[in-house]
Structure 1
Amino acid sequence: MSKTKGNTSNKYFDVHGPVFWPATILIVLFIAITLIVGEPIKNFFSEVQNSISNTTGWFIIISINFFLFFCLYMAFSKFGKIRLGGKKAKPEFSTTAWFAMLFGAGMGIGLMFWSVAEPIYNFVSPARPDIEPKSMEAYSEGMKYVFLHWGFHAWAVYALVGMALAYFTFNRKLPLAIRSVFYPILGERIHGRIGDVIDVLAVVATLFGLASSLGLGVQQVGAGMEYLFGFENNTSLQIILITVITLAATISVVTGLDGGVKLLSQLNLNLATVFLLILLILGPTMFILDGFIENLGNYLGDFIKLGFWTESYVDGKLDPNHVDWQNGWTLMYYTWWIAWSPFVGIFIARISKGRTIKEFVLGVLVVPTLVTFFWISAFGGTAFFFELTGVDMSSTIMKDVSTSLYFLMEQLPLSSITSFLAMILVISFFVTSSDSGSLVVDSITSGGKLDAPVGQRIFWALTEGFVAAMLLYGGGLQAIQAAVISTGLPFTVILVLMAFSLRKAMKDEKDLDESKSSSGKESEDYKKVIAEIIKQQQTKKKSIVTENQIMENQETALIKNESN
């Protein structure tokens, strides 16, 4: 590999120094401060998170809606026909493999954790104080908000970032990094310090987001180990699980996108399909199907109202002791999706070459959202069904969210088998999130290269697991999670600018194409005119040469006459 300015390149590493080293130093310092300071740093970031929600929640909500409508506009406008990678580009992956990888890097692991717990939480603690807790209305209304948190608005964030990165990488031949989407605004300055700062922020947010999710998620795997095999779900077990998952992710990363990541993603999809079918067969089938249709109708019926809800007109809102439900749920989810958007967006962009803008937007928005809705309706609906039939699901779930999925499986036949399958699926989703995240960090820290050296992939995969283990051992996971969510506000501003930058770039391309198309005949006429002018110039040149030759001959004759 060639060595360029700011890059360190050898057989095992190919790093972009101005991003790699500051990001690495910041990560080490952040971990050290979090572990040394302890509880106060957690409280600090929690206060920052609450302050952001209280003062800028309105901006985040309007921005999320803007992202959704912008993506739909891009899909159904003249820009929808633009193909990522150029007019002749072909998709690298089949549609099935593409969807499988979308879930692997997107929300698969979150759905395993919250698909049972969140509907029950909303059933026990409704979003609005005028709704009676543990009522049919509480569950019905609560499902609207679950759909809001995991539906079109959430996937729109990923669609925007993925679309912008794919376009600038494959159509404009820029590096696969967040900085590239600002080329229409910043020009060549994206290769300077401004671009470096953007990418450093993206690396830190991505790594801490993955590490905190890995650390919190192994608690669910540990709960499964305790339920199935009697192991105590303590910190030692969870660190062992992180080690195993990290090693599996490292092997997957080494094999690359076409190998490990793709195969694991397809395995996830197959396992999830089997798991869902088992629930449909063993669970309350008709209740699930009826509930899905009604949940979807309620959500779509109040779509605009839910999307623009800011909890302004709630009884007790002005009470200083009032706790905003929206801050702890809706805004927390929104800022989390936004903070994760560099990771998921870059990964989606990497696997989406060859698809049109319309195909990309509808594929990322519609299919994953509908599958997500059905999954939540199935697992949340089954938990609610057992609650209605006398099983105290809510008390157990509110006590420990990590056990909610296994407690639900306990109510069904073949509980040992289904619980084991659930645990394997959770692990598989974690491995996929880890390896895809490592590939993303590799890309950013190597200056936007699509394929970083193997040694560098191993470094970031192991670093991610090490960070998660350290934070889990030192008690800093919640502090880091709050810090990641706090980055949601600056990233929201970045995403708004990203949308305008993307439209400007695509408009320039479309204007150029339309100009070429509409001036085709004029171009031919222009060529004829130019050819005629050149011919005349050549004729004139020959004429001048001939005249000059005659004059020279005349001068020669005069000279001879004078000498005679």
Structure 2
Amino acid sequence: MGEVVKDEYQTDYVAGQDNINPFGLDLHAPVFPITAILVVVFVVGTLMFPEGAKELLDGTKNAIINNFDWFFVLSANIFVVFCIALIFMPVGKIRLGGPDAKPEFSTLSWFAMLFAAGMGIGLMFWAVAEPVAYYTDWYGTPLNAEPNTAEGARMAMGGTMYHWGLHPWAVYAVVALSLAFFSFNKGMPLTIRSAFFPLLKDRVWGWPGHIIDVLAVVATIFGLATSLGFGAQQAASGLDYLFGTSAGINVQMAIITGVTFLALLSVLRGLDGGVKVLSNINMILAAVLLLFILFAGPTMAILEYVWVTSSTYVANVVPLSNPFGREDETWFHGWTVFYWAWWISWSPFVGMFIARVSSGRTVREFITAVLIIPTLITVVWMSGFGGTALEQIQAGVGELASEGLTDVSLAMFQMFENLPFTGIISFVGIVLVLVFFVTSSDSGSLVIDSITAGGKTDAPTAQRVFWVVMEGAIAAALIFGGGSDALGAIQASAISAGLPFTAILLVMCWGLFKGLSHERKLLLAEGKL
């Protein structure tokens, strides 16, 4: 007879039991109105007082960077170590959804959805601009590497990979695994507060949980707006590059409006007919574009950059992760702290979306897929795009070589200019940005709607429509409020939203560890592990 172990994580709470139903909607009483009011006030206030909003955003960003840079970086390090430990711990055998659960989606579709939601627009926006910025000392260099040198090129690729490798995916993995485990294995609502049940017990369904969920929604919607703002800027620059349409604020606003409309159509088609289809299309287009660059660009140099990027990343990940006594403070504050805040603000959205599509995977399989595989793919992606751009600069070819990095949103198209079929691949690049845009907006509305409906996954479509519109409105407000420094306003929103949620993620790690350890005891006692 096995040891009898009581399941301490039993609750009478049912997803949505506190909801109200005005006008046929299904709203969690405290969470939806609080977050909706905060979002609407921000949008209206920014549009009415753009200069004051920009001053407030910039002041908040500078204060957080100067006082909490160490907190972001140490926290990100903890997330990486925690995730790697889970791969090798005995709890890695636990299956999400129970011992007999089967995956809902094929491995390829599953990976396409998590990757498209996790980094899509960012990879398109920064894959060329970031390595070029580091190599040319546009705004600091990693570890004070000498710009425009062979060593500068290596550190440019290694530093870029540092921001797109294990650390961001560890942030996503912590949230996604917590949500999937407590929802699929314990039957709790699919909402951020559920991950705190081991620590707060039934108090998590009261105001402590309401606060957690409100912070999650605020972080999510501003993290999404950051990416949507980048996407609008890059699409506008690409259209201007190809068709001379101008890349001004009016065009960016029009793009946000158009893409928000497409996201609404995707929402109406649902998860299988909308996000899944778009994600698969995006992965195919992205793979085709990457293969084209590999063969049409400097093939041997790109293959060499795959090794250079990965080896430099591994060799420097520890000094790059040190938050104290940095001599490269300009680069560290301007890039690393922003990225960590951005990933953390995105984590409720990406984490919950990954959790939604990950039932049936073991903890070990889940962490490996979410943490390791995207990092390896990103090495190839960055080497293809960034390596090609650096080769062009070193050979003195193209506008990036002659003029330097004048506009980060235009960098990818300037690199395309020196490859065959420039117009075609530039058009494909614009389409990729826009479809990533739609996928992120649709997926984000799905997640935010779930949180603001008390963890229900089948809330009325009208609620997701509201959040899709709000995501577009915030992105538009940030671009309008930021004016000529729209990029700074976008970054400020991500950093401001990411700070409070970092503390929540740290506590979430402890709750997840307690939950997995207890589940392992239960399964061993029942002979199911």
Same fold (TM over 0.5): yes
Which of the residues 141, 147, 151 maps onto 2:165? 151
Q: Which has the larger radius of gyration?
A: 1
Residue 209 of structure 2 corresponds to 195
User: Residues 171 and 4 of structure 1: is their aligned pair in 2 closer, same or farther, counting only changes over 3 Å?
Assistant: closer
Secondary structure of the residue aligned to 2:146 is coil
Q: 1-side partners of 2:234 and 2:509: how far apart?
A: 37
1:462-541 aligned at under 5 Å gives the runs: 462-475=469-482, 478-479=488-489, 481-517=491-527
Which of the residues 108, 126, 130 maps onto 1:118? 130
How far does residue 139 in structure 1 lie from its aligned partner after superposition?
1.2
Q: 1-side partners of 2:336 and 2:44: how far apart?
A: 31
User: Residues 313 and 84 of structure 1: is their aligned pair in 2 closer, same or farther, counting only changes over 3 Å?
Assistant: closer
* Greater alpha carbon shift after TM alignment, 454-463 vs 273-282: 454-463
Task: Verify the 8 A CA contact 2:263 2:441 in the aligned structure 1.
Answer: yes
Counterpart amino acid of residue 325 in structure 2? S
User: Deviations for 1:27-79, whole angstroms, at most 9, x for unmatched residues?
Assistant: 11122333334334323333332332332322322221111111111121110
Residue 162 of structure 1 corresponds to 176
Q: 1-side partners of 2:17 and 2:181: how far apart?
A: 26
User: Residues 110 and 300 of structure 1: is their aligned pair in 2 closer, same or farther, counting only changes over 3 Å?
Assistant: same
Q: Does 1:17 align with 2:29?
A: yes
User: Residues 226 and 167 of structure 1: is their aligned pair in 2 closer, same or farther, counting only changes over 3 Å?
Assistant: same
How far does residue 467 in structure 1 lie from its aligned partner after superposition?
3.1
1:53-68 aligned at under 5 Å gives the runs: 53-68=65-80
Q: 2-side partners of 1:106 and 1:516: how far apart?
A: 37
Secondary structure of the residue aligned to 1:334 is helix
Residue 372 of structure 1 corresponds to 378
Q: Does 1:96 align with 2:105?
A: no
Task: Verify the 8 A CA contact 2:132 2:390 in the aligned structure 1.
Answer: yes
Residue 64 of structure 2 corresponds to 52
Q: 2-side partners of 1:24 and 1:351: how far apart?
A: 26
How far does residue 100 in structure 1 lie from its aligned partner after superposition?
0.5
User: Residues 414 and 56 of structure 1: is their aligned pair in 2 closer, same or farther, counting only changes over 3 Å?
Assistant: same
User: Residues 445 and 496 of structure 1: is their aligned pair in 2 closer, same or farther, counting only changes over 3 Å?
Assistant: same
Residue 359 of structure 1 corresponds to 365
Identity %: 49
Q: 1-side partners of 2:176 and 2:266: how far apart?
A: 22
Q: 2-side partners of 1:260 and 1:72: how far apart?
A: 33
Q: 1-side partners of 2:423 and 2:360: how far apart?
A: 44
* Greater alpha carbon shift after TM alignment, 482-491 vs 444-453: 482-491
Task: Verify the 8 A CA contact 1:124 1:394 in the aligned structure 2.
Answer: no
Q: Does 1:73 align with 2:69?
A: no
Counterpart amino acid of residue 501 in structure 1? G
User: Residues 130 and 145 of structure 1: is their aligned pair in 2 closer, same or farther, counting only changes over 3 Å?
Assistant: closer
* Greater alpha carbon shift after TM alignment, 405-414 vs 43-52: 43-52
Task: Verify the 8 A CA contact 1:397 1:404 in the aligned structure 2.
Answer: no
User: Residues 70 and 128 of structure 1: is their aligned pair in 2 closer, same or farther, counting only changes over 3 Å?
Assistant: closer
Q: Does 1:272 align with 2:270?
A: no
Q: 1-side partners of 2:34 and 2:521: how far apart?
A: 40
Task: Verify the 8 A CA contact 1:43 1:479 in the aligned structure 2.
Answer: no
1:29-428 aligned at under 5 Å gives the runs: 29-125=41-137, 126-127=140-141, 131-307=145-321, 309-310=322-323, 312-314=325-327, 324-391=330-397, 392-394=399-401, 396=403, 398-428=405-435
User: Residues 341 and 274 of structure 1: is their aligned pair in 2 closer, same or farther, counting only changes over 3 Å?
Assistant: same
How far does residue 404 in structure 1 lie from its aligned partner after superposition?
0.7
**Given the two structures, how large is their TM-score scaled by the length of structure 1?**
0.86
Q: Which runs of 5+ in 1 are unaligned?
A: 318-322, 519-564
Which of the residues 445, 448, 469 maps onto 1:441? 448
**Given the two structures, how large is their TM-score scaled by the length of structure 2?**
0.92
Q: 2-side partners of 1:328 and 1:187: how far apart?
A: 40
How far does residue 408 in structure 1 lie from its aligned partner after superposition?
0.8
User: Residues 75 and 16 of structure 1: is their aligned pair in 2 closer, same or farther, counting only changes over 3 Å?
Assistant: same
Q: Which runs of 5+ in 2 are unaligned?
A: 1-13
How far does residue 397 in structure 1 lie from its aligned partner after superposition?
5.3
Task: Verify the 8 A CA contact 1:35 1:475 in the aligned structure 2.
Answer: no
Q: 2-side partners of 1:186 and 1:327: how far apart?
A: 35
Q: 2-side partners of 1:471 and 1:46: how far apart?
A: 12
Counterpart amino acid of residue 53 in structure 2? I
Secondary structure of the residue aligned to 1:133 is coil
